[in-house]
Chain A
Amino acid sequence: MIDNGLLVQMLIGALLGVSVYLPLAAGQLSLATPAFYAVGGTLAALLSTTWPALGAGADGSFPLASFLLELLLGGLLAGALALLVGRLVLRLQGIYLAIATIALVEIVRVAILNLPFTGGAIGIFGIPQPFPTAAGYLLPALGLLALAGWVCQRLEVMPLGRAMAAIRNDELAARCMGIDTTRVKLTAFVLSAVLAGSTGALAAHFLNTWNARQGSFDTAVTMLAFVILGGSRSWLGPVLGGLLLTALPELLRPVGDVRLVLFGLVILLGPSVFPQGLITPGLLERLGRLGERAEREPQT
């Protein structure tokens, strides 16, 4: 039921979930991820279809090195944009930041729709493929997710990650403890954008076509649902949420049109049954203890 194509989509969902999670870990509700995703995707689509130096073949093939370079460039461009925009929007707090970032998503969407070189409503199609089948994308998507997870995991024992947690708990107290909160929030915002940009570059090749609809307000809400269902206290939450919620509409396909109702029910009931999300610190602790016991048992 789950084929390789869906698996890649699920991994992309997980990556975008982590991208929404990063600013949230510093207490900032930003919905800008689709904008950066769109920027990365558009860059990759444009470069691979118009820049011959990258080596796109006439048969639609594409060198792996150029693909990886695009992941990097997509992340860098999105990160640079986040650096510029972040200085302005991160002055806002709470729901106002969310609104400003939704505006950013709309600006990027309308820009991509109307710019002379991004293909208008049809978008850019025939994006060359670095891999012959969908299975080829599994490895880079997993690699990107592993990288993101590793960064998130390291953050927990680093001053930067602790500062983010402190801001999430009490921003004023954090400032009074010597934390440059503007800088920490901006860093989290840029990290989130880099991840979304790279993910966009990967998705553009995987989907084969790219247009302005890829990053819209709807996607922002879906990505937020990843984090809300999965849990926002650990990076594993949005990963699980992204995997599940991307797979669900496809898995429910046999039940016909009722699937959209069921999907809506999951989003509605998930947070009421698991208010903290599926993955909570308490759950991780219990799992940790189970792991320790399993390690000890063979010796006794």
Chain B
Amino acid sequence: MTMPPLLEVQDLTCRFGGLVALDRVSFAVQPGEIFGLIGPNGAGKTTLFNLISGVTTPTAGSVLWRGAPITGLPPHRLNRLGLARTFQNLRLFDGLSVLENLLVALQRRPRSGALAGLLASPSHQQAERQRQETAWQLLEELGLSRLAEREAGTLAYGDRRRLEMARALATGPQVLLLDEPAAGLNPSEKDDLCQLIAALRQRHQLTVMIIEHHVPLLMRLCDRMAVLDFGVRIALGSPEQVRRDPKVIEAYLGSGSTQSGSGGAAP
């Protein structure tokens, strides 16, 4: 018997009124891989993430988790299954400290009851110590520990991006969905981020799905990738395969440019 893929989408379709944001998109993500998702603006990448993470309900099609359907489950249930995400336009808990942002995400690792919490019982204190410890480890890992007490809203942009990743990791995911983690970073920060993602996959045994506009970064990082254009999956395969795909080159550079070759999609 073969293992079902960790995460699979089948004929996923999403319509907003007359607009077809995603049109029968299918692919499967294998455990441990870094799976890239590229496509021009408005191709439906973030919509796809929203469908997988339960923020939006699909019009048709299904999402499978280890072969079992999870379509339409609310976000918190999907998160508890082991699916965490970051947001393209950063949605930190700005009024809370950096440490508290992680403690919010850690509230089920381990769980502790409300009554135990009210009475500050030993079991609650034990759980709280464990949560604090994990939080500090993650802060250390992502280079945020000196900012632990700062309010998240006051952080520099690059730090905010890393805090988003730390917060998603704090929920203990098996699959991490990263929505444009390198947006707005300078080239050297992008390199650091690339190494960080690879390192995090190792240490946390993650499967990563990543949306990114910076194609060279994805080509280096990903095991496989899918390309979306106007809601349709136009290519799927290794970075090498995708790079040579004439449909991809056309989507990025327009028709008639296949001969000229070098460009954003074919560096």
Contacts and interface: CB of A to CB of B under 8 A. Distances in A.
A268 B186 CA distance: 48
B122 to A, nearest CB: 15
Contact of A173 (B80, B87, B111, B128): B87
B103 A178 contact: no
**Most chain A CB neighbours (cut-off 10 Å) among B93, B96, B128:** B93
B58 to A, nearest CB: 17
B131 to A, nearest CB: 8
Contact of A178 (B55, B87, B91, B171): B171
A154 B118 contact: yes
Interface stretch (B18-26, B34-42, B71-79, B202-210): B71-79
Give the interface residue-count category, chain A: 20 to 34
B74 A154 contact: no
Contacts of B76: 175-181
B120 to A, nearest CB: 7
Interface in B104-121: 104-105, 107-108, 111-112, 114, 117-118, 120
A166 B93 contact: yes
Contacts of B171: 177-178
Interface string A159-175: 11011011011101111
Interface in A248-297: none
A64 interface: no
Contacts of B79: 175-178
Contacts of A166: 93, 96, 104
A162 B92 contact: no
Contact of A169 (B84, B93, B111): B93
Contacts of A176: 53-55, 75-76, 79, 84-85, 87
State the main secondary structure of chain A at its contact with B. Answer: helix
Interface in A170-200: 170, 172-181
Nearest to A183: B76
Contacts of A173: 87, 91-93
A221 interface: no
Contacts of B96: 162, 165-166, 169
Interface residues of B, number: 35
A174 B104 contact: yes
Nearest to A162: B104
Given A169-B93, A180-B76, A157 B128 contact: yes
Interface string B58-93: 000000000000000011100110001101000111
A162 B118 contact: no
Contacts, number: 87
A163 B55 CA distance: 18
Given A169-B95, A173-B93, A177-B105, A158 B117 contact: yes
Nearest to A178: B79
A163 B54 CA distance: 19
B113 to A, nearest CB: 9
Contacts of B112: 158-159
A151 interface: yes
Nearest to A179: B76
A170 B100 contact: no
Nearest to A154: B118
B171 to A, nearest CB: 5
B94 interface: yes
A162 B74 contact: no
Contacts of A159: 107-108, 111-112, 117
Q: Which 7 A-B pairs have the closest CB atoms?
A: A158-B117, A159-B107, A178-B79, A169-B93, A173-B91, A175-B75, A166-B104
Given A159-B108, A166-B96, A170-B94, 7 more contacts: A154-B118, A158-B112, A169-B92, A173-B92, A176-B54, A176-B87, A178-B76
Interface of A: 151, 154, 157-160, 162-163, 165-166, 168-170, 172-181
10 contacts: A159-B117, A165-B104, A168-B95, A169-B96, A174-B104, A176-B87, A178-B107, A178-B108, A178-B171, A181-B76
